[in-house]
Amino acid sequence: KEFSGQWAHGSTHANEKEIEEVGRKAGLYASITSDKADLQPGKYDVILSPLVVGNLMNYVSFMSSALAVLMGYSMFMKFRPGDKIASEKLTLVDTPRDPTLPNVASLDDEGVPTYDKPIIEDGVFHNLLHNSGTATKLGVKSTGNAGWVMPNPWNLRMKPGDLREEELVSELRNGVIITNNWYTRLQNYVEGTFSTVARDAALLVKNGEIVGDVGRVRIATSFPELLNNIEEMTRQTYDIMWWEVRTPTRAPFVLARNVNLTKPYI
């Protein structure tokens, strides 16, 4: 039998409790994958772990770079600040000055002071990320996000929800828990159409109980659809950073409804 589970943590501080949690969650997910369950392609309610949420929010924040918009590589080309683009449950903030997150910075690469700013707040689009070049081009002020080449987020923080993790599973009742992902690819940047492949544990839930691992499964949807289908989040957040979450992200578990899942034919 194959067993696979993973967790991650990224911080400027060594925290024994968080390090132990990495091993505990990875071991827990690996042990659950020993039981297999069948899943037919279709739309399912899903719980996305902070690893998955962190990866997807990295793509959302990339598309909030003003240079991505100017180059035509962003769903934010279609929106203006003040537009509702997501569930009111979603708040995503670029937070460069949090001393516990790895990319803490008081100045950007052009020497402009950094500050916290919402990209999305309560489901409403608020800010593109600017360096001096994109700010001049669009007639606004730099947001203190200059990187070597383009404006980038420093660290990302999501506003948590109200539920404990076990309550979120009960709220899901029937669906799939996706604990990790990779190979996130955009088919259409302007529409935000993407797919991403689940890895490690992808767990089928029936009547609020985990019944087994469904194996290889792919999320195939669009960011606008997924972000609007967010319904609940956990109150606990996790600081995630690894090779699929290059911008450190403080994220909860997220429950989203009616997410399209596909399976390979072989």
Strand partners, 129: 65
What pLDDT does residue 4 have?
87
Task: Give 104-159 as a 3 state SS string.
Answer: CCCECCCCCECCCEEEEECCEECCCECCHHHHHHHCCCCCCCECCCCECCCCEEEC
| Residue 170 token pair | 């009960």
What pLDDT does residue 99 have?
97
Q: Average per-residue pLDDT in the chain?
A: 96
What pLDDT does residue 3 have?
78
Kindly report, residue by residue over 105-147, the tens digit of the pLDDT. 999 999 999 999 999 999 999 999 999 999 999 999 999 999 9
8-state DSSP, 8: -
How many Å apart are CA 139 and CA 108, to the nearest integer?
19
What pLDDT band is residue 264 in, cutting at 50, 70 and 90?
confident
For 186-208, what is the mean pLDDT? 97
What pLDDT does residue 75 have?
98
Measured torsion, CA atoms of residues 51, 47, 93, 67, in degrees rounded to the nearest 10:
70
Q: Give the type of residue at 121.
A: E
| Global pTM value | 0.96
The rounded percent of the chain whose pLDDT value lies above 90 is 93
Contacts of 57 (CB under 8 A, 6+ apart): 92, 156, 158, 249, 251
Burial pattern 127-158, b for ≥16 Cβ within 10 A else e, equals: bbbbbbbbbeeeeeebbbbbbeebbbbbbbbb
For 173-187, what is the mean pLDDT? 98
Q: Report yes or no: 242 and 54 within 8 Å, Cβ to Cβ.
A: no
How many Å apart are CA 160 and CA 23, to the nearest integer?
23
What pLDDT band is residue 205 in, cutting at 50, 70 and 90?
very high
Residue 242, pLDDT > 90, answer yes
Give me the residue spans of the domains in the chain: 16-56+163-262, 60-158
- CA distances to 43, 114, 143, 208 from 220, rounded to whole Å, are 10, 35, 33, 24
What pLDDT does residue 35 have?
83
Residue 2, pLDDT > 80, answer no
Kindly report, residue by residue over 27-85, the tens digit of the pLDDT. 999 998 878 899 999 999 999 999 999 999 999 999 999 999 999 999 999 999 999 99
Q: Which of 183, 188, 76, 55 is nearest to 134 (CA)?
A: 76
Reduced to 3 states (helix: H, G, I; strand: E, B; else coil), residue 52 is helix
What pLDDT does residue 1 have?
59
Residue 93, pLDDT > 60, answer yes
Number of neighbouring beta carbons within 10 Å of residue 261 = 22
What pLDDT does residue 266 have?
57
How many Å apart are CA 94 and CA 142, to the nearest integer?
14
